[in-house]
Structure 1
Amino acid sequence: MIEYRLYINNTPATREQLDLVEEITVEQAVDMAWEARLQVPIGTDDQGQWTVGAEDVFTLFTPVRIELRVGDRGFVPLIDGPIVDRDDDQETEPGQSMRTVVVQDDSVWLNREDRIFRFDELLDHEIAGELFDIPQIATTEIETTPAPTRSGEIQVVQRGTAMQLLRSLARRQGMHAYVLPGESPGESVGCFKPFSTEPGDLPVLTLTGPERNLASFSPRDDGQRPAQVTAYALSLFDKTVTQRTADPASLDRLGPEPSLGDETSPAAQILPPRFGDAVDLDQAVAAEAERASYASEVTGTVLGHYYRAVLVPYQVVTVEGVDEERSGNYLIAQVTHSLSRTEYSQSFTLRRNARSQGATASFSDLAGAIF
């Protein structure tokens, strides 16, 4: 059974308001603002003026929250944020005209004002705490960052929006800056932390067998992504050069084996000099190596209502019923939720920086198994 709840201006929508919405599509992806599109029929009144029921409800920057429940699990918030766009499609045929109401998450409020930011003697996680301090964000989940390798004054100066600065700081620390819907309407959560590598409580995604709940599973491997990353830093005090290197095999992974395996060498990358001035050098090389390590990507869809949960990015889910190499844990990178009056579907993109055991069997082992 599929149920959804709609909140408008942080209050539950009335039955009349719910009846206005024909379709809902929510696009969620890591490192991007989440977006929902609500399809609302429009028409003309007796004077020929275009109208929509309760039009004053769907005004720009009105907060909208959408929650979804599948089966006996609790409601999962898909998005919480303001209306940022209204797009009308007016047709001459009755019943065909539609308004698309576009909602984005509360990171919108951090991305509306260009400023020149200056922070003195603050570490990156402390800057993140200050940038997330807006009324729409009630709580934060921020992980501590180390001090830069070089000694001396710590200073961050950057022009742009608060969200742009957050993502820039997160990237160089091997983290990700984003805003999630909170437990209650209007109380979003600001996050500044790395990807998880541990699965949560999501049910297993299964392609084959009696527990099948996947309609499709299409993997792709990019052999050019994994890289050994090196950085150098020059000390202005004693003219010494510090070198640090991070290898994909040394990173936290979603499986026991590196994505390329021992038989393939990773690419080699040298970071620009600026990375050595602003962050801990070990952190900088590990961050770029981790970002490049996600060489496996899967697109797919769940099978109708057989998957009894709601997929959400930044979580880790286990996949079974595929070949031995690809079975295991995956990061959820993108999900599209499509909800109409009669149907609900989920399509997804998963990423992985590992292979499972059994993936490195030699040709002689394979031949022995066949003959």
Structure 2
Amino acid sequence: MLPGAVLTLLCGPAVPLPAPDLAALLDTVSVSHSDEGRSTFQIVFRALRDAVTGLIDYPILLSQRVKVGTRVVLVVTVNAIPQVLMDGIITHQQLNPGDKPGSGSITVTGEDLGVLLDQLEVRMPFPGNDTALAYTLLGPYAALGLTPMVLPPPTDVPPDPTRELPHPQGTAWAILTQKAQQHSFVFFVLPGPLPGQSIAYFGPRIPAFLPQRALTTGMGAANNVTSISFQHDGTQSTQVIGLVQDDNPAATVPPLPVYGLPLLTPPLAAMPSLYVNAPIMKTKFLEATARANYVRALLQASSETTASTVKSVTASGELDTARYGALLYARQLVGVRGVGYSFDGLYYVKSVSHSIRRGEYKQSFQLSREGLGATVPAVIP
């Protein structure tokens, strides 16, 4: 770790407890947070054997604290501020004995607590709306420190019991992921804010959090990135249009036009690629259906349009953790400054990869937004 940065390891079968003896055997730690799927981690320990228990097995394996199914919490303290980097479950274990004494290693790999939501399949009638369903499915996991943060979607209405009675089937993870997609929302598990706690977030793609400290380049002593590059792809944007016959039995209306608009996320670019690159914009048609809700069809068209535009401008690079002085979180906003009006401004953090070893802490990131031009006059320095 870097000066001023401390990594704390907690692990245990039920309640994770500090494990300084295991932390002393750490070789490397890798953690990946992305807006696609669950967060993952990999820890490599040095596999040492002693004269007492070495004849039986590796002491680290005998302790049963790195076995499959064990809960692991990683806390990084930067500038005296502790931040939970990962709270997850070990899912794989690998032993490499090595060909020389002391050259062996034990590698454990795992995922965040979302993996526990993907184990038990349920099927039940549920007459309520999707917000109530989310609380119902997440309630049993409160004992693990998993706190639901469910934001009601604007299109969340309970089903008409005279017409249908939904029977959600699948794991809690699969059901909530599917429901989130139907409302153009996202579902993921966020570690923290305290060790042993996590947040199950069901809500808009960009949470209503303050933007993180800006990534700075080209500003001399204020620089906090070691490298960063930008790409603008004008062929990413796709306009979704179509005709939909509303299924409202109280009225008979002709097919209504559907026109997808990128309105489901806050605007981050002054010149959206969808409009600036109109000559090379793709067009996709929704198929007309006999039974469809117009509002949901409009939401689906807007969701597909938005999903195609948010990756029009991307950035990737590596953070100087010592100068930045904090962890960079995925699925949130961050400012960029020092590269000029076209690429300055706010970005969505698509993914962050943390690589930690003694004396070294690297954070690699990927950013995205829907076009060029800053929408804010300044960012948080």
- For the aligned pair, the TM-score class normalised by the smaller chain equals 0.7 to 0.9
Over residues 202-227 of structure 1, what are the superposed CA-to-partner deviations in whole Å (9 max), with x where a residue is unaligned? 22101211211111112223323222
Distance in 2, matches of 1:273 and 1:96, equals 63
Work out whether 1:66 is the aligned partner of 2:80: no
**Residue 196 (structure 2) aligns with:** 186
Contact 1:120–1:156 (8 Å) recurs in 2: yes
- Call closer, same or farther: CA 1:50–1:149 in 2, change over 3 Å: closer
Opposite residue 283 of structure 2, the aligned amino acid is A
Letter of the structure 1 residue corresponding to residue 131 of structure 2: H
Deviation track 1:55-102 (CA, whole Å, cap 9, x = no partner) reads 311122111111112224x22211112111111122112222111111
Change (3 A) 1:225 1:136: farther
Which amino acid in 2 is paired with 1:336? Answer: S
Task: Give me the whole-angstrom Cα distance separating, in 1, the residues matched to 2:29 and 2:264.
Answer: 42
- Which of 125, 135, 138 aligns to 1:129? It is 135
Aligned residues: 356
Per-residue displacement from partner, 1:301-321 (whole Å, max 9, x unpaired)?
A: 013522111011111000111
Q: In structure 2, do the counterparts of structure 1 residues 301 and 357 end up closer, same or farther at CA, with 3 Å as the change threshold?
A: closer
Corresponding residue number in structure 1 for 2:283: 268
Structure 2 matches for 1:173-212, cutoff 5 A?
A: 173-196=183-206, 200=210, 202-210=212-220, 211-212=222-223
Classify 1:249/1:162 alpha carbon distance in 2 versus 1 (closer, same or farther; 3 Å).
closer
The structure-2 alpha-carbon separation of the partners of 1:199 and 1:355, relative to structure 1 and needing over 3 Å to count, comes to farther
The aligned amino acid for 1:56 is Q
Q: Give the letter aligned to residue 7 of structure 2.
A: Y
Contact kept? 1:203, 1:308, Cα under 8 Å: no
Q: Distance in 1 between matches of 2:11 and 2:374?
A: 48
Task: Summarize deviations over 1:94-129 as a string: whole Å, max 9, x none.
Answer: 2221111112111001112344x3444322222222
CA contact (8 A) 2:72 2:89 kept: yes
Partner letter of residue 125 of structure 1? T
2:102 alignment partner in structure 1 = 95
Aligned: 1:36 with 2:45: no
1:190 deviates by 0.8
Sort the Cα spacing of 1:77 and 1:279 in 2 relative to 1 into closer, same or farther, 3 A. Answer: farther
The answer to whether the Cα contact below 8 Å between 1:149 and 1:281 also exists between their aligned partners in 2 is no
The alignment partner of 1:31 has SS state of coil
Task: Report the alpha carbon displacement of residue 132 of structure 1 after superposing the two structures with TM.
Answer: 1.8
- The reply on whether 1:4 has 2:7 as its aligned counterpart is yes
1:67-82 to 2 correspondence within 5 Å?
67-72=75-80, 74-82=81-89
In the alignment, is the contact (CA less than 8 A) between 2:214 and 2:337 conserved in 1? yes
How far 1:155 sits from its partner (Å)?
4.4
Between 1:148-157 and 1:294-303, the stretch displaced more is 148-157
CA distance in 1, matches of 2:157, 2:256: 13
- Cα-to-partner distance string for 1:258-306 (whole Å, 9 max, x where unaligned): 1344352532223456893597333322222222221222111013522
CA distance in 2, matches of 1:89, 1:292: 43
In structure 2, give the amino acid aligned to 1:4.
L
Alignment partner of 1:337 is 2:354 = yes
1:332 and 1:224, CA in 2 relative to 1: closer, same or farther beyond 3 A? same
Q: Percent identity?
A: 21
Q: Give CA-to-partner distance per residue, 1:163-203, whole Å, 9 cap, x none.
A: 12211111121110011113333332111111227662522
1:243 maps to 257
Contact map agreement 1:209 1:321 (CA 8 A) in 2: yes
Q: 1:278 & 1:2 partners in 2: Cα distance?
A: 53
The CA RMSD over aligned residues, in Å, is: 2.9
Equivalence for 1:252: 266
Secondary structure in structure 1 of the residue aligned to 2:240: strand
TM-score normalised by the chain length of structure 2: 0.83
